[in-house]
Amino acid sequence: MAKQNTITARDGTGHVMLGGRQILMLASNDYLGLSTDRRVIAAITASCARYGTGMTIYPIFVISDEHSTLEQELARFLGVEDVLLTVSGGAANAVALTGLVGEGDFIISDADNHASTIDAGRLSRAQVKPYKTRDMASARDVLASHAGQGRCLLVSNGVFSMDGGIAPLRDLVDLCEHHQAILVVDDAHATGVVGKNGRGSLSASGLPAGLSNVFVTGSLSKALGGAGGGFLGGPRDAIAALRRNARSYVFTQGMTSAACAAALAALRRLKGDPSLHQQLWHNIETLQKAARKHGLTLLPSESAIQTVLVGSEERAIATQHRLLEQGLFVQAMTFPIVPHGGARLRLQASAAHIPETLEDAIATIAQELCA
């Protein structure tokens, strides 16, 4: 990797040292700024002193008390009966999709779902059918066409990572209840960000937690501490069965105790200090207002992900390079991450950002794109 793309230090204001220069990072998943929080770092240090770098044994055999405590507190926070921890958010999707359905069953998948969801569907050996993204008519047609032919699972992102929009979850819940289908919601970019105090996309959609046919997956490498790990939450009996039988859980080393300690400390910070979540949303609104002020059009978003559609891959990449020269790291999203002709710049706000720096950054981006 070229030296200019190597981060050598980070601080608590959303800046990084990259290529020997201080750069404002606008492409990080550290939505609450907790990856540099002193209490989170102290929790990791204490965990390493107690357990070493990790448990070094599969979680089906033994877990640490930090694993157990995080599962319990995260379940209460999300409002689900039980939580199973995994090595990553992608692994959580694999456990859900390969453990809840299999050969002879069907998976109905939003066309814009994350790659880990798509790959998990392939691993499940179930038949996978996509529906047009966030299009309820398409979802109904696809689901109805497979009614009565084995178990059926519908999977959707909660927050979509390429534009920040939220899935029509109220309609999806009703649809799955009508067809007795399982609903899996990937909340990787929603947990800690949207909903009441960051409780996720179901909360943001005004839905009750703990629905009997609904499972939630997510990542602990984003808003909740950034150290790694993932989770799958849902009904207690189903989660217990997945712990015993899901190959993607049984045959893996699992989440490290240090990552558990980080996520637990981050979760407690979020629950104990509502100003963190409030600051994130203040910064999101600051970014949006600055975009309107400077004539920069953002795609509709209900989360910390704010996107500028560019179209041309060459232009998006060139703009990213020019912005980096001006001290801003803004990620260009190009094929195959997005379709040909759909290149974009993705901006990600964090509670760590200083509002004035966001305003200045948007002014610079607008000058580059609107000239």
Q: Where are the alpha helices (H) located in the chain, listed in sequence order?
A: 38-51, 65-78, 89-100, 115-124, 136-145, 169-179, 201-204, 236-245, 247-250, 257-272, 275-293, 313-325, 355-370
Q: What is the DSSP string of 20-38?
A: TEEEEE-S-S-TTSGGG-H
- Known active-site residue 132: no
The answer to whether residue 179 is catalytic is no
Question: How far apart are the C-alpha atoms of 96 and 104, rounded to whole Å?
Answer: 16
If we measure between CA atoms, which residue out of 150, 149, 129, 127 comes closest to residue 141?
A: 129
| Amino acid identity for residue 216 in this structure | V
Annotation marks residue 282 as catalytic: no
Instruction: Let me know: does 225 contact 263? Beta carbons within 8 Å.
Output: yes
**Residue 247 CB neighbours (<10 A):** 12
Q: Pick the catalytic residue: 28, 161, 221, 303?
A: 161
Question: What CA–CA distance (Å, rounded) separates 311 from 347?
Answer: 16
Torsion over CA of 247, 176, 151 and 183, rounded to 10 degrees? Answer: 0
β 305-311/15-18 pair status: unpaired
Q: Which amino acid is at 215?
A: F
- Among the listed residues 15, 67, 189, 277, the single catalytic one is 189
Q: Which of 15, 67, 114, 222 is catalytic?
A: 222
Please, which residues bridge with residue 127 across strands? 106
Are 89 and 189 in contact, with CB atoms under 8 Å apart? no
C-alpha 328/C-alpha 22 separation (Å) is: 9
Annotated catalytic residues are 161, 189, 222
